[in-house]
Structure 1
Amino acid sequence: MTRLWFTAPAGAREEALPLGSGRLGALCFGGVDTELVQLNDDRLWTGSPLPPPPGDVEPDSAKYLPLANLMLVGGPARADSYRRELDLRTGVYTMAYRTGSAEVRREAVCHGGLHVLALRVTGAQVGLLLRGALPGEHFTSSGRVVGVRGRVPQGMAWAVVAAVDGDTVFVTTEAGYRGPGTEPVDDPTECSRLALARVEWARRLGWASFRDEAVRSHQALFDRVSLQLGPVPDLPTGERLARPDRTLAALLFQYGRYLLITGSRPGTLPATPQGIWNPHTDSVPHAGDTLRMTYWPAEAAALPECHEPLLEFVAKLSGFGSVTAKALHGAPGWVAHHNSDPWCLTTPAGEDGDPAWPMAAAWLSRHLWEHYAFSGDDGWLRDHAWPALRGAAEFFLHWLGSNGEPASAMDLALTAELFSNLLLAAGVLGIRDDVVDGVRGIELPEADRPHLFGLYPGDQIDRVRTPELADEAERALVAMGDGGTGWSLAWKAALWARLGDGDRAHTLLSTLLSDGVHGNLLCAEPCQLDGNLGATAAIAEMLLQSHTGELRLLPALPSAWPTGVVRGLRARGGVAVDLWWDEGELRAVGLRGLGAEKTVTLTYRGRTAEVTVRPDMLLMLDERLGSADGLT
């Protein structure tokens, strides 16, 4: 069962349920007499295109802004048989209750193509209120359309438009952002015109067709992967959190996938630490760990399309970062620091963390290689990934020559990972130039102790290939303990999974579920998505690993998951993997090729097999990794 459900309205944002199209974000509270929906548009930011860095100015990062509150008003003050739920598989939010003999029902869903939210109300008459979170003006059109529009001070225009059609309200948003190097639209009337056109298109579809299209689009992504860890108790989510069972991990895994599907789609901006759901005026994206952690599970969890906003952002960022590299460091290539924003800020900015930390290009470039490693698309590697990979490596070659060595073990780990991926990419593309030769010829200094990045998400540390480094990493993890906030718990779970200790990884996930999430399962302290998406990545690593060139099956299966089935996980090399296990033992394997025919190596508890996988053909193996053609 992939549902979150509750028997009372949300009393705070931390209990509200998120819907999204990648651009339009909506948090639904489920009040009885008033349904509150907080709206965001991923393009609504302070700031404007940045001037070239002068070399001595540290600008502030732009801020991601809240947009509006939509309220459906009307209904009884009390309700019986109340139920509020979010179906992760369909992307549909439902709230229903009884009052006397009548049932009141609300449904809502976001359309990923139109970026429109539809809300349908049956069994009650409601009024509609729309209030901007920023100063603006209200307007109406044709008697059945209401809206609010305005302008960010010294910034872009925005608009929200709602159209009533019988028992359904269609809502959309518009913001003036047109790209990092383009002046934003500052005319609210133009934004409202564009929003009106989209909402009218949705209205002509009608509720039934709109809902069907939205659900089909969502399920095309969500249904690629399923995970079952046992019978799911039919209990409200709050009760399940109070009395945890092993199937909660499966819900947490799929919730992370849901958040990525609804918060990051092709053509949208990369997610902020809060995703696209933000009621505050001080949300800042990070080019640091929180941004990248949000996208850790994208490839393994079969959501490469949802990875695209980050990959496109990195390509754009590299262009702006080349100006910064020259202006601030006198260096070739490109650089980015701890914080960034949709205007492609690459200079040091902000006060939290290490704003002058120049390693973001190295870490972000890893996502480019990961996308290629899973897809095997040589054309994409050459045309899209290579320029940014090469530029980042070029900068760090210069930086090493100027500074002698990286400042920390983490800097060393990031640089080593970047250089390794560059050489792998050069080998695939048959490229040899001064940067490739420079990377081949450099010997990085050894750190006093390895940084855990090299274990995960990096692949420089491995229990089999580098056992001594793995032992050091394990000692470091033991010393760190099992405490921490959501993102820390999720990362440590993934690290223990790479070390093959499923029980320790499971302990950390259990702590995350008991102490690290809010009532709506969003990661707590602070309320941001990196812990959710990091947990999804960790669970994928517990079931399947492919970072060493072989497919390790159930490499960190915890004793708490004795029986289970996972379908559709993806491995590097372009393979979809199904696994069945019982009594803690692998029972069957299914492999599907996602590209050209290839030979893959499988390992499971000391057994190894090489098999040929063909495109769109299911190959079944038994627990001995031998043929099992008759197995179903």
Structure 2
Amino acid sequence: MTKLHVNKDLNGFIAILFCVLICSCTTTTSDKNSDSLKLWYNAPAADWNEALPIGNGRLGAMVYGIPDQENIQLNEGTLWAGGPHRNDNSETKEILGEIRQLLFEGKYKEAHTLANAKIISKTSHGMNYETVGNLRLNFEGHDSFSNYHRELDLEKAVNRMSYTVDGVQYQREVFTSFTDQVIVIRLTASEKGKISFSAGMDRPKPSVVQVSTEGNNILTMTGRGADLKSKRTPKDAKPIEGKVKFESRLKIVPQGGSLTSTDNTLILNGADSATLFLAINTNFKNYKDVSADEHQHAAKSLLNLEKKTYEQLKTNHANYYNKFFNRVKLNLGTTDSINKPTDIRIKEFSKGNDPALAALYYQFGRYLLICSSQPGGQPGNLQGIWCNQLTPPWKSAYTVNINTEMNYWPAESTNLSEMHEPLIEMVKELAVAGKQTAEDMYGADGWVTHHNTDLWRICGPVDGATWGMWPTGGLWLSQHLWDKFMFNGDTEYLKEVYPAMKGATEFCLSFLTPEPENNWLIMSPSTSPENRPAHHPKNVNIAYGATMDNQLVFDMLTKTASASRILGVDDALIKEIEATIPQLAPNQIGQYGQIQEWIHDWDDPEDKHRHISHLYGMHPSNQFSPFRTPELAEAVRNVLVYRGDPSTGWSMNWKINQWARLLDGNHAYKMMTDQIKLVGRPDSPKGGGTYTNMLDAHPPFQIDGNFGFTSGLTEMLLQSHDGAIHFIPALPDVWKNGSVSGLRARGAFDIELMEWAEGKLVKVIIKSNLGGNCRIRSYSQLKLEGDNPLKKSEGENENPFYSTPNIKDAIISSKAKLQGFSIPDTFLYDVETNMGQRYVLVGE
């Protein structure tokens, strides 16, 4: 055993700092709980679904807050199984015509079997996102504690806990530094010499844990991602070799006490305080290159900290985080519930009015997006960046038939545009990787990806025809390229992403094929994601001309044509698009007054499936509108009523967005009460909802529900997709008074402030970053500050960001009796704005 002695002589500054820390430790619980932007609890986490998430976009950790045996579960965004590879099935090209003919002849079962044999990948069904492992801190004798408190501070992105043992108060602070790219842990006590613990690391898969030969205050853990063979690949298929190597390096810097070590443990005794630094790095460079030096990067990360104090590290971390988080402030009011622990508030939310919890849930979603998706890193996956397994549910991969897209619905509207960048970069990479997939599998132009991808940007279909036979994943992902432009208006950005948009459109144009009954151009073979018709002749998912595909193709073509015109390129492509759009399949309203999910009227009003793919045209797209297409809006509402409110977590949050687009704030709020219900404990109800730590329960945990909630609440307060900026379009009765600042609207308008009282707008401050006509929609009359009347809107909005959205005409079933959607009267105003100017509107 080696031993390191630490000087106990503290200078005056450190002594003063120590006193300050002690004072902070003794802050009363009531003071701590007064902050509305904290998740807090009076007991340690009982399991992973009660631990609290921290992250910096690359590093993630779940902190349990256990006094005697702390567990901090670790992730690094590029630690995945496998290595660079492709998973295309080249046999597809030779049977594409055959499978289409089978579908057109109604031989769905035969088509399903053929798709499994000749289209679904035979080499890889995607790799797993993996945990790094655990950092374990053992404090002997701390199992008998009192005065316990733990919290997640959303304003500082810091996890804290405090408790008392034998009259001594202990405090821990943990954060994942955005600026220094390490996990930082600070341990303090109200008396000197009371910090004693041992530190070790472990991983579910064998790894090497040892005290570094470079110094006995450093503990290392090294390993690599798994070799992985998918269960659905042939028996003789080789596993994809695990090429991602990682190194975790823990350094303990104590004040006072003695630091010793065994072969695989660090032991600190009798210190006044201690700061722990944990660096985790991999050899990943990009999806084709794993040649980085993980050891060098981890060692350098710790070396760079040597001249920085703990307070400097925490301040730099908070300052970086705050420049994003503080952009949006939301006040929906408070009640006495704010003084209760967060788990109790979640449990009681549906029983009373706790508007501050809805606001906290909203801001928690923004916190999670900042912490799981940073520029230069990977996009958030199915669990963001937090995963405690080697074989997580659904591989914790990128499921792009809704879940990945939902992760980024709040990015632009809630003023976190920078967090959108990792997804944009992934789409650009998929456009490169998917070009070979389109050619090799379908003999098609452009690029394609299916319903799932991973770190290695696989583009072939996985998981069997029931899920994977869906060739329009690239089309949905590409909507984000255009949506980002709609918020920033940056033509230089549009030039960067236009090739990916063009490639997705080229795939559509070469893959579309006429169906036999109406000669409409449709996508085939495909599915309506993960659902099958109850009355399908063969009870399989495979289909052609699914409504969602028709809507996605329509959006892809129209948006690419708009981008081409803006950039002044590809006239021939524009002409081809214009010739194709009239031939696309329309939306259809079926016998139950519903948007048909399939090209045939197979819908069943008893179908409670979680996916509502055919409502993409309402949200996140803007093809349907209560104002422009009231019959289609009513048909959307009918689907939502048939499907019902209870569902998986992410599905309920998508429905919040749908009801907001239908201008029904009270039903959207009702969906919020279904989502904010406590699940995961023995006495909890089953189904979707919210875990104790406020993470969304599918179940199990999926982060998309958190982001869907934040998006949905934003849609209730502000919409800008339908030719105007609509203020409080779906305000529920329970939020009669409130304010929000910092939201963004399309056309590069910042809503710097919006206040309402008794359900009516009081004041709005708009900043125009591009200039142009700002069309405003409101349920109440408005005027410019200083009693200046507003100009009533007339005709088409001349601002190109607010031109009336296009739609493919719908076929209304003769059996459906639709009256059109009933909407309240609104006022429409125009304000001609100048770049950089602010405009103040007040209610009359």
Q: Considering the TM-score relative to the shorter chain, is it more than 0.5?
A: yes
Counterpart code for 1:619: Y
Structure number with bigger Rg:
2
1:98 is displaced (CA, Å) by 1.9
Matched, 1:196 2:269: no
Letter in 1 for 2:275: T
**Structure-2 residue corresponding to 1:151:** 224
Deviation at 1:184, TM superposition (A): 4.7
Distance 2:380 2:322 in 1: 21
Structure 2 counterparts to residues 70-469 of structure 1, below 5 A: 70-75=135-140, 76-123=142-189, 124-139=195-210, 140=212, 141-152=214-225, 153=227, 154-155=241-242, 156-166=244-254, 167-184=274-291, 190-231=293-334, 233-244=338-349, 245-282=354-391, 283=395, 284-351=397-464, 354-382=467-495, 384-401=496-513, 404-406=521-523, 407=544, 408-442=546-580, 443=582, 444-449=584-589, 450=595, 451-469=614-632
- Report Cα offsets for 1:305-362 as digits up to 9, x if no partner: 1110000000010011010000000010000001101111001122496112111011
Q: Distance in 1 between matches of 2:87 and 2:659?
A: 43
Deviations 1:362-384 (A, max 9, x none): 100000011100011011101x2
The 2-side partners of 1:353 and 1:220 are apart by 44
- Match 1:587 to one of 762, 777, 784: 762
Partner of 1:26, secondary structure, is strand
Closer, same or farther in 2 for the Cα pair 1:285/1:223, shift >3 Å?
A: same
Looking at structure 2, the residues matched to 394 and 109 of structure 1 have their Cα atoms a distance apart, in angstroms, of: 46
Deviations 1:69-104 (A, max 9, x none): 001211521221110000111101000112243210
Alpha-carbon displacement from aligned partner over 1:425-476 (angstroms, at most 9, x marks no partner)? 1222223333322111112112434421000000100111111111111111
Cα shift readout 1:547-577 (whole Å, capped 9, x = no counterpart): 1231000000000111111111110111111
1:518 corresponds to 2:691: yes
Cα contact 2:88–2:459 (8 A) shared by 1: no
CA distance in 2, matches of 1:133, 1:201: 30
Q: Matches of 2:204 and 2:837 in 1, distance apart?
A: 52
CA contact (8 A) 1:549 1:572 kept: no
Q: Secondary structure at the match of 1:316?
A: helix
1:169 positional shift: 0.3
CA distance in 2, matches of 1:426, 1:557: 38
Structure 2: how far apart are the matches of 1:533 and 1:438? 37
Contact preservation (8 Å) 1:590, 1:618:
yes
In 2, Cα distance between equivalents of 1:3 and 1:285:
29
Return the alpha-carbon distance in structure 1 between the equivalents of residues 136 and 465 of structure 2. 35
Amino acid at match of 1:319: V
* TM-fit CA distance, 1:600: 0.7
Structure 2 unaligned blocks of 5 or more? 1-35, 92-120, 190-194, 228-240, 255-273, 516-520, 524-543, 590-594, 596-613, 679-688, 780-825
**SS across alignment from 1:620:** strand
**1:488 correspondence with 2:601:** no
| Contact 1:301 1:570 survives alignment (8 Å) | yes
Q: Which region of structure 1 is more displaced relative to structure 2, 356-365 or 584-593? A: 584-593
User: How far did 1:423 drift?
Assistant: 2.1
Amino acid at match of 2:644: G
Secondary structure of 2:722's partner? coil
Q: Distance in 1 between matches of 2:651 and 2:466?
A: 15
Paired AA for residue 300 in structure 1: S
Q: How far, CA to CA, are the matches of 2:224 and 2:657 in structure 1?
A: 43
Instruction: Report how far residue 193 of structure 1 moved.
Output: 2.4
- The Cα shift of 1:598 comes to 2.9
Q: Secondary structure at the match of 1:94?
A: strand
Q: Deviations over 1:516-551 (max 9, x none)?
A: 000001001121101100000000000000012310
Q: Which amino acid aligns with 2:585?
A: P
Q: CA deviation at 1:47?
A: 1.6
User: What letter is aligned with 2:63?
Assistant: C
Name the CA distance, whole Å, in 1 between partners of 2:85 and 2:574. 32
Question: Residues 617 and 205 (structure 1 numbering): CA distance in 2 closer, same or farther, change over 3 Å?
Answer: farther
The one-letter code of the counterpart of 1:106 is R
Taking the aligned partners of 1:219 and 1:352, their CA distance within structure 2 comes to 45
- SS at structure 1 position matched to 2:180: coil
Which of residues 42, 45, 52 in structure 2 aligns to 1:7?
A: 42
Distance 1:20-1:352 versus aligned 2 partners, 3 A rule? farther
Which of 70, 78, 85 is residue 35 of structure 1 equivalent to? 70
1:416 CA drift (Å) = 1.2
| Residues in 2 aligned to 1:359 and 1:415: alpha-carbon distance in whole angstroms | 8
Shift of 1:203: 4.1
Deviates most, 433-442 or 321-330: 433-442
What is the TM-score when the length of structure 2 is the normalising length? Answer: 0.71
Partner of 1:279, secondary structure, is coil
Contact 1:68 1:160 in 2 (8 A): no
**Counterpart of 2:676 in 1: which secondary structure?**
helix
Which stretch shifts more, 156-165 or 501-510? 156-165
- Letter matched to residue 173 of structure 1: I
Contact 2:717 2:728 in 1 (8 A): yes
Counterpart of 1:479 in structure 2 is 642
- 1:134 to partner: Cα distance: 2.9
Does residue 601 (structure 1) correspond to residue 775 (structure 2)? The answer is yes
Indicate whether 1:561 and 2:752 are aligned.
Answer: no
> In percent, how many aligned pairs have the same letter?
33
Q: Contact 2:773 / 2:832 at 8 angstroms: preserved in 1?
A: yes
- The separation in 1 between residues aligned to 2:832 and 2:367, in whole angstroms, is 32
Cα offset, 1:176, TM superposition: 1.9
Write the distance in 1 (CA, Å) between the matches of 2:665 and 2:251. Answer: 51
Alpha-carbon deviation of 1:165? 1.4
Letter in 1 for 2:701: C
Q: Is the 8 A contact 1:592 1:614 kept in 2?
A: no
Q: Which residue number in structure 1 is paired with residue 666 of structure 2? A: 503
The residue aligned with 1:64 is: 129
Give yes or no for contact 2:489–2:770 (8 Å, CA) kept in 1.
no
Distance 2:436 2:573 in 1: 19
Classify the secondary structure of the residue corresponding to 2:308: helix
Shift of 1:402: 6.7
- Aligned counterparts of 2:574 and 2:215: Cα–Cα separation in 1: 63
Is the contact between residue 92 and residue 108 of structure 1 (CA under 8 Å) also seen in structure 2?
yes
CA RMSD of aligned residues (A): 1.6
Q: TM-score, normalised by structure 1?
A: 0.95
Contact 1:159 1:192 in 2 (8 A): yes
Q: Tell me, yes or no, if the aligned pair for 2:39 and 2:153 is still in contact at 8 Å.
A: yes
